[in-house]
Chain A
Amino acid sequence: MRITLEARPEPSRAAMLLTPLLAAIATLVVGFVIFEAFGKDPVAALHAFFVQPVATRYGVGELLLKAGPLMLIATGLAIGYRANVWNIGAEGQLTLGAIAGGGLALAAGDAVPATLLLPAMIVAGALSGMAWAAIAAWLRTRFGANEILTSLMLVYVANFLLSWLVHGPWRDPEGYNFPQSKLFADAALLPSLLSGTRLNAGFLVALAAVATAWVFVRRSVWGFEMRVAGLAPAAAAYAGISSKRNVWLGMLAGGACAGIAGVNEAAGPIGQLLPSMSPGYGFAAIIVAFVGRLHPLGIAFASLLMSLLYLGGESAQVNLALPSAVTGLFQGTLLFFLLAADVLVNYRLRVQRGLPAAP
């Protein structure tokens, strides 16, 4: 007997809905085994992982707070990914956004009202995120340099740049030479969205970006051309679709979203510039984009799930003394299952009896 995959003529709607469920069940089973092996009550562990973090209003706020940047960045990246533009440097673009938005906040101090300052910060963040992504786009279109490499390298450069700024010129003069900027003035802080939580207006910006991306991909000519270029590059070239423009659009969309995410972090939960502004959102968002199947709605769900995995890991440490290593293991497993189960969307399993077919 032999199991083979057979391509479906069309992606299966049923499988689209069922595979995440399948992955979830498989993960629960593995989770049981991992936690049992670690001598923890699996039910309590899973409760700590998936229920406890969102059992309170505050917890829900945290879930959305963390999902926001993931959703925002993944949405931007997905636009490029659909056209086979591989921007994996969102982490660096985020950092540049935080630098630009934060720099503006520091320069403005109390002098500028929030209604003016916040939009300006967001625009500055978006522009500088785009500028950082543009380096990779330019190197690709002008020199043919692979954007996976250049965008990744630029992450390191961006981090060193931020590190230099907060250790040097932008260091808080009252801060005993510790590497951080002054705290932003109130006018530079995003207003709260849900009282008693840290959820702020940045989440609305993220939602707006998702909606915009949706419209761009579904309704605009350029969005359509990018999808075609991704699905059938040869046909796209034949139809006269500019591959250079796709590279630019893909990179800039990712850069803008990541840059805004950087501003949201700086002006949201952090409120100042630190040597590191993100716990790896730029990379996690890549997984979110694919777990969400590069679809805005899927990305929204995937970002919530990813966010929950982070919160769950902390909660399991606090409540069950599960080491952070176990958390990483468990998170990786769930992502594997989610990615693997997706095969059923485009293929069906076919069981062949008797002799294996000739190769």
Chain B
Amino acid sequence: MDSFAQLVILTLAAGTPLVFAALGELVVEKSGVLNLGVEGMMLTGAVASFIVTARTHSPWLGVGAGAVAGAALSLVFAVIALTLLANQVATGLALSLFGVGLSAFVGRGYVSVVIDGIKPLSIPGLSDAAIVGRLLFGHNPMVYLSLALFVAVQWFMQRTRAGLVLRAVGESPESAHAIGHRVVALRYAAVLFGGACAGVGGAYLAVAYTPSWSEGMTAGRGWIALALVVFATWKPRRVLAGAYLFGGLTLAQFQAQAAGVAIPSQLLAMLPYVATIVVLAVISRDATTIRLNAPASLGKPFHPD
């Protein structure tokens, strides 16, 4: 059972960067905007958090900086795609290119720096007590932060008026505009929130998960986060489940290898992706689920007049 606790802790740790980034992107997409620049924003958040942590020795300040940097980069996207009405898919891809370059550029002086990152909780008597204690209190603090974010997003989307308006904007910006909502301003807010979340996701990698900075260290997690949102049919709960499923499958694949299972590792490595496709197809069978949750105006530019 001890290894079970271990596996749960590892799975949550592996899924957490995806939780941050995908929850942020979920809010963005719910407002009707598709920002494919998550990888770039994550990297920018990662490098900013690392630099600030290295300078101030405060990883939490670093996480804050990651959020700000991610949001700042997403502002570029917002201006081009929301104000100047460029195609969102292309702008998002360009944002990723730009973010990869930008982060590599500003991080050049920091590749050799070692920081003291955010360590897993260790509460005497709790984190090391029996299995329940370890499961409840043995995670990295940022894992709890990601869960808090999940609760907040869930509450915001389901229970608040602002969340309702956001969904209305994603559903039909024209009607939302007609009844007096400021569509573009709301979308700006959503995009900035998404950028901040992606930035925190990157910061988790740089200052908590593998405390270090190196070019391209997110290694494609931004793309997976994007896929997760659709996989989750725009439901925060499923984002959470999907992120852990994804992290868990990767780990299961490693576990199988370490235990000596003789399957070509490339085929094993395909598993999470194939599983995602299959699960998506199964979920999507119920066509109404997708239709009810997919923001109808996703990716379409809106200009108020």
- Give chain A's interface residues, CB within 8 Å of chain B: 5-7, 81, 86, 88, 135, 139, 143-146, 148-150, 152-154, 156-157, 160-161, 163-164, 167-168, 283, 286-287, 289-291, 323-333, 335-336, 339-340, 342-343, 346-347, 359
Which chain B residue lies CB-closest to A34? B105
A88 touches B90 (CB 8 A): no
Question: CB within 8 Å of A: which residues of B?
Answer: 36, 76, 79-80, 83-87, 89-91, 93-95, 97-102, 104-105, 108, 182, 215, 223, 226-227, 230-231, 264, 266-267, 269-270, 273-274, 276-277, 280-282, 284-285, 287, 290-291, 294, 299, 303, 305
Minimal beta-carbon separation of A95 from chain B (angstroms): 13
CA gap between A7 and B301 in the complex, in Å: 13
Residues of A within 8 A of B227 (CB): 149, 152-153
Q: Which residues of B contact A342 (CB under 8 A)?
A: 84, 86
**Also in contact, A164 and B105, with CB within 8 A (given A144-B284, A290-B87, A339-B94):** no
Q: DSSP majority for the B interface? A: helix
If the complex has contacts A287-B94, A328-B102, are A143 and B305 also in contact, measured as CB distance less than 8 A? no
Query: Which residues from A are CB-within-8-Å of B76?
Result: 336
Q: Is the CB of A153 within 8 A of B182?
A: no
Tell me whether A149 and B230 are in contact (CB under 8 A). yes
Set of chain A residues within 8 Å of B84, measured between Cβ atoms:
339-340, 342-343
Contact of B294 (CB < 8 Å), options: A5, A146, A160:
A146
In the complex, are the beta carbons of B85 and A335 less than 8 A apart? no
A5 to B95, CA, bound (A): 23
| A325 partner, pick from B95, B108, B267, B303, beta carbons under 8 A | B108
Q: Within 8 Å CB of A161, what residues of B?
A: 266, 270
Query: Shortest distance in angstroms between B165's beta carbon and chain A's nearest beta carbon?
Result: 15
Q: List 27 A-B contacts (CB under 8 A).
A: A5-B85, A139-B281, A145-B277, A145-B284, A146-B230, A149-B226, A149-B231, A150-B277, A157-B270, A157-B273, A157-B274, A160-B266, A164-B266, A286-B89, A325-B105, A325-B215, A326-B105, A327-B101, A328-B97, A328-B101, A329-B98, A332-B95, A335-B97, A336-B94, A340-B79, A340-B86, A359-B182
Partner of B90, one of A135, A160, A291, A333: A291
